[in-house]
Structure 1
């Protein structure tokens, strides 16, 4: 995949392709990082690369639970505690594990959406969630996909900022390194810093 979404054949392909691209950009922010670097919180926020990827994977899984009308495990208090914890990569977790979890969430989303004939299918709005509108009964699968694109893009932008603070890596040089693009006069693939510590 390169820096742009390839041509799309229809609405479903377009929504899933743009979601896949934003997932890819978020994953690229972790390219070349160690687990310790993925836990770093180098800005005034409490965000880390590992935590952002973990959060977005959990959000995507949660939305597929909503689409399929599956009950999320645990009490509301337990789910709220998990929500807060999902913004950080715990010491016992690895970057590889959260990237694998994110890949599994993406695969499940693609499979669920492929099995839904009408993207206008209603998705009931969960009740009792303060940031969901009380006067809307249902969204559509289409709306959920657009929301996932928005959510993923927002956090991919956060990850760009966090990554730049870690080691100066930015999106296109990281993408060039991850995908083995040739070096050009205007774009040099990212390379890890060489430590001079002995």
Structure 2
């Protein structure tokens, strides 16, 4: 496999992970997009805002290609996790638009640089900050896939929807009763292991 093939493969998987994450917002109300469904506040629109922010940073500042838009929620002195939720003033369209612009900026960096291009992650410790485009692609693929998994669980909690993408959910096509029985069987098994 050549470097170009490897870069194309990584870039394709990155695109698929981006789309999987974004699909989780389809058809939901503003409330459902924003409501925190875990004790740590995980919510769908916040996941998009966070991924847009880190995408802009890792494919921007790291390679001296700064993202042209300010992101005040990640500036020093802000509250922790300000990038993990959308304020009432930030619309769905604004956050999704930011996500698309961060994608485009990242794609320009990926297309412009070879896999062995070096950069520095300024928010990491100096001894770990030196990175190649290859490592950043792997890091961001892992980051986005992780958050797409979070989004999948949050969406399932909202309305029962689950899966990878609209044309291939990656979930066995079984009826509701089968899933209820399956859930009950797993619950009984778990309860049987309690001490």
- TM-score, normalised to structure 1's length? 0.74
Matched, 1:162 2:154: yes
CA contact (8 A) 1:67 1:141 kept: no
Equivalent residue, structure 1, for 2:142: 150
- One of 44, 64, 69 as aligned partner of 1:69: 64
Compute the RMSD of aligned alpha carbons: 2.7
CA distance in 2 between partners of 1:74 and 1:43 (Å): 25
Q: How many residues align?
A: 167
Query: Which structure has the highest helix share of the two?
Result: 2
- TM-score, normalised to structure 2's length? 0.75
Q: CA deviation at 1:39?
A: 0.5
The structure having more radius of gyration, on CA atoms, is: 2
CA distance in 1 between partners of 2:27 and 2:77 (Å): 32
Matched, 1:123 2:126: no
Equivalent residue, structure 1, for 2:78: 81
What are structure 2's unaligned runs of at least 5 residues? 176-195
CA contact (8 A) 1:29 1:171 kept: no
Change in Cα spacing, 1:83 to 1:153, as seen in structure 2 (3 Å) is farther
- One of 30, 40, 50 as aligned partner of 1:35: 30
Change in Cα spacing, 1:159 to 1:108, as seen in structure 2 (3 Å) is same
